[in-house]
Structure 1
Amino acid sequence: MKDGRLFFSVVFLNALIDLGHKIALQNTVFKVYDASQQIILVAIINACILLPFIALVIPVAKLADTHNKVKIMRATATASLLLTLAITVFYSAGWFWPAMIMTLLMAIQSAFYSPAKLAYLKLCWGPSRLSEANGWAQTASISGILMGTLAFSVGFEYLYSGQVIVLADTNTLIALLWPLGLVLVSLAMLQLYWTYRIPLLKETALEQGAINSKTKISSVSRQSLFELLSHRRRLLPVLCLALFWSVGQGMLAAFPAFAKAHAGINNTVVIQGVLATTGLGLALGAIAVGRLSGRRIELRFVPLGVVIMALGLTSLSFLSAAIAFAMVYFMMGIASACLIVPLNAYLQKNTPSEQLGGLIASSNFLQNIAMLAMLLLTIVMALWGIDSRYLLQLMAALTAIIGAYLSITIINDNRS
């Protein structure tokens, strides 16, 4: 299907562009700072990405429900091009903090793009092929993330290695990255071109005026949140998913500083390559869990995922070789699939179809708050001078204790 290939190509490019800029900033921080300063700045970068998904939940929901989905994607693609042009200017001028602010603005356009993308999937493929379409979209997104991680890290190291002296200033270092800015602009132009080639689809609800935006927003921000909090079989899987995503955020913030301080790894390609193995494990794990589950929801994978995650986080603090780190992160990616696949299916099973959209919005809202809370905890521990090794061990303990309670409770509730 030609239109499908165009759409999934846009999904791939969107993930690649968003991550490319983030990787450039994170690698700059990695080269210039150590220990607590590095952890704090990486946590701030990740927080900039999360904040729009929390603060803009109401306007994003309103726009997604009242406007054509393809037009929204075209508008966000246009914004992405303008922002990458600004990023290139800031790179060239050696302005680190304005480039950091662009991370927040890029996340804002992503916050508006994401629900339009998911809604377009259902419009284009229909309920009967929704699982297949989501699978392809997830594959395209993960591929973009992996490609962005590796390509921009390799590009960063190539530009950095050409310097005969060690650069100890973020502004001086980021000024070297203007070629990466041009790559971002080129990708954004291609994304915009492909987005305008995606045909506009007839959206019956919009044409018939069937959507009352005020009622819809109230449902997303109040009623759906109340429904989530008041139903145990919906709340517990969301809390378990929130635990997983928040631990993941803490891991992303703490690991680069840990690897630099305790394993002597200074190459950003190695660091980002290790982190990228999580995405590979997640993709392969999702396929395996889906096939092993068949038509059933296998909640027995959830405690297995918790155990693997806890053991992986614990083992990280005792390792020092890049290949060992990569193997552990790959296994934690598989563990992630053991959590995400059955918990999302269990959540959908226990939610009426007419409430599912609002519940997903409320679930994402709570999960983003949990991730932001973990980043704030990471920043506080770094300010107190606590070693990154102990931060990883704390996350392992949280995963083991809270994850064990939630997974066992979910399984018992399902049996009753």
Structure 2
Amino acid sequence: MLGLRDREGPMNQFTLLRTRRFAPFFATQALGAFNDNAFRYATLLLVAFQMGLSTQQVNLYSNLGLALFILPFFLFSASAGQLAEKFEKTRLIRYVKLFEIGAMALAAVGFYTHGVALLLAVLFLMGLHSTVFGPIKYAILPQALRQDELIGGNGMVEMGTSLAILTGQIAGGAAIMQHPRGELYASLLVLAVALGGWLASRAIPPAPATAPELRFDPNPWRQTVQALRFVRKRSTVFHAVLGISWFWFFGGIFTAQLPNYTKLHLGGDESVSILVLTLFSVGIGIGSLLCEKLSGRRVEIGLVPFGSIGLTAFGVDLFFARPDAPPASGLDWLAFLAAPGNPRVALDLALIGLFAGFYIVPLFALVQARTDKSELSRVIAGNNVLNALFIVVAALFGLGMLSLGVTIPRLFLIVALMNAAVAFYIYALTPEFLMRFLTWIIVNTLYRIRSDGLERIPEEGPALLVCNHVSYMDALIIMGSVRRPVRFVMYYKIFDVPLLRFIFRTARAIPIAGGKEDPQLLARAFAEVDAALAAGELVCVFPEGGLTRDGEIAPFRPGVEKMLARRPVPVVPLALRGLWGSIFSRRDSALRRMRLPRRFWSRIALAAGMPLPPTSSAAQMESSVRALRGAWA
């Protein structure tokens, strides 16, 4: 079964390529993306350069081809989502790959006969192929991968897709331009790749249906509305989908203008056009792969604001790097890179791609992690509908701005600034993105964290986390390390610390006070803890009741027993190691010496122990935390 874990130890995104549960699927989707672009680019060059058509005819067929490729996403995405939920996914993938072989056979006839109508029909069929494959592609990953592999797996898929798009365009263009047998070479290429994709799909393990009882509704309009309702069901998922769709708008504007941008503003020939596309695609690939490292193998949505900042910053810098006409024209890629100012342009393009990877991978992983498995394919289908809409709007927006006399560099500048506005809007609607970004920045700036045993924290359902309390940063460290959202019970004066107040409020921390200090707040805190556990959430408490003053663990107070008596749930002991002596512990205050620069960027660890029963006493919990922490205070 696809959902079973391999028996190896902890894995990273590259070792996934050695597993049957990921490698055949990765090859299948990459070959599909390659073939889509090889065929489309070969068709574009055939129509543009080898059929003797007028400029008006070429423009008509080019735009009509794009419309026909996008049209199936509007018509059939919802139906594709239903199929992916109702039936076993691997069998569907194999049928889709057989369909691709048939479409490429028609493409070969179209290449040979120069049949524009047939080639346009195949573009529609390949759009249908991508429409059906899309919901399966992203819904199968949570079945194939563990939660801690989800960000790395998505990174690999995005990297593979971006490089497949690039190499597909290069290979398709090179094949069709080989006179006098270009049509033959292009036909053999797309047929061979389609056959390779089908053979790779034969090795994908079974992926059971997630909603086999689903009644298929053939009405595309009704199902499209239903898919969009699934998207809107959870606000965080909905705003993540909006972020993904905005990415397609942003990327669509940039990639559509790159050929003319290369010619008119960079002074480059065809080789520079390929270089520019390569820089953009490789940047996305590297950014996608780095997500696993930067996120600590968690679904870290704090990377999304980081990515959007980079997209705006380097999009703006691209305008200032070359706002006007180039000093020379007809440059090949070597001459382009050697010309003054052009390395800055090349770096901007690569960094736009890099930060695009930081932006898009966590969003896809978030959608997969926060959506019920029985609804995920339909959510992806709704996402695809919105993506297609944003792509069409991007094309119309680009054409409209250029028709008004806006230059391509100024168009890039406008879209980069629009990206900042859209980011602020989404993060205002869902503050969790900004909260996770601030947490990620603060924690990773101050500490080097190693985690141990965090897989013992249940992926679903309620649990009470109990941890030693060493520094003012403890909650942020746990928040940034545990994959699931955590509700923290914390002293109300820490809850109200400036700057951190936003993070704690967004994370829905629960302020508490002593019984003598504020009995009403204490009672309200216990009620909120009970409600959170009843709702299946994780709650974390620091049972010592305050920060350690000497680095040792103080006795756990009995309040934690009262929480469990009211709502019996599993208890997971946590231990923070190495924080005593860091800049936000009380060690330096007690010794009356400066906190900085002592132990800046400290090496610390967070360890989780085996779950304890709800009947455990405070003393038993304390003993487990002491054993976990060991001698490393």
TM-score range relative to shorter protein: 0.7 to 0.9
Matched, 1:152 2:172: yes
Amino acid across the alignment from 2:241: V
Q: Share of identical aligned residues, percent? A: 21
Partners of 1:200 and 1:335 lie apart in 2 by 33
Distance 1:351 1:210, change over 3 A: closer
Partner of 1:86: 106
Matched, 1:187 2:193: yes
* Structure 2 residues without counterparts, runs of 5 or longer: 1-18, 327-335, 436-502, 507-633
Partner of 1:59: 79
Partner of 1:302: 304
Partners of 1:205 and 1:185 lie apart in 2 by 32
Partner of 2:568: none
Q: Deviations over 1:283-331 (max 9, x none)?
A: 2212323322226665554343223222433444453546644422211
How does 1:158-173 map onto structure 2 within 5 Å?
A: 159=178
Distance 1:143 1:258, change over 3 A: closer
Distance 1:148 1:251, change over 3 A: same
**The one of 291, 313, 316 aligned to 2:315:** 313
SS at match of 1:248: helix
Q: So what's the TM-score if we normalise by structure 1?
A: 0.78
Partners of 2:312 and 2:213 lie apart in 1 by 47
Partners of 1:304 and 1:104 lie apart in 2 by 37
Q: CA deviation at 1:139?
A: 4.2
Partner of 2:29: 11
Matched, 1:245 2:245: no
Partner of 2:265: 262
Instruction: State the superposition RMSD in angstroms.
Output: 3.9
Q: CA deviation at 1:249?
A: 0.9
Matched, 1:371 2:391: yes
Matched, 1:226 2:229: yes
SS at match of 2:242: helix
Q: CA deviation at 1:180?
A: 1.6
Q: So what's the TM-score if we normalise by structure 2?
A: 0.54
Does the 8 A contact of 1:39 with 1:254 survive in 2? no
Q: CA deviation at 1:21?
A: 1.1
Q: CA deviation at 1:185?
A: 1.6
Does the 8 A contact of 2:142 with 2:369 survive in 1? no
Matched, 1:337 2:357: yes
Distance 1:290 1:213, change over 3 A: same
Partners of 1:217 and 1:99 lie apart in 2 by 26
Name whichever structure is richer in helix by fraction.
Answer: 1
- If asked which structure has higher relative contact order (CA below 8 Å, sep 6+), I would say 1
SS at match of 1:264: coil
Does the 8 A contact of 1:302 with 1:407 survive in 2? no
How does 1:85-234 map onto structure 2 within 5 Å?
A: 85-124=105-144, 130-131=150-151, 133-155=153-175, 159=178, 176-195=182-201, 197-198=202-203, 201=206, 203=208, 210-214=213-217, 221-223=224-226, 225-226=228-229, 228-229=231-232, 232-234=235-237
Does the 8 A contact of 1:234 with 1:351 survive in 2? yes
Partner of 1:276: 278
Amino acid across the alignment from 1:253: A
Distance 1:183 1:327, change over 3 A: same
Does the 8 A contact of 2:151 with 2:361 survive in 1? no
**The one of 421, 424, 429 aligned to 1:401:** 421
Equivalent pairs, count: 398
Does the 8 A contact of 1:285 with 1:335 survive in 2? yes
Distance 1:39 1:376, change over 3 A: farther
Partners of 2:391 and 2:349 lie apart in 1 by 19
Amino acid across the alignment from 1:77: K
Does the 8 A contact of 1:259 with 1:265 survive in 2? yes
Partner of 1:169: none
* Structure 1 residues without counterparts, runs of 5 or longer: 164-174
Partner of 2:291: 289
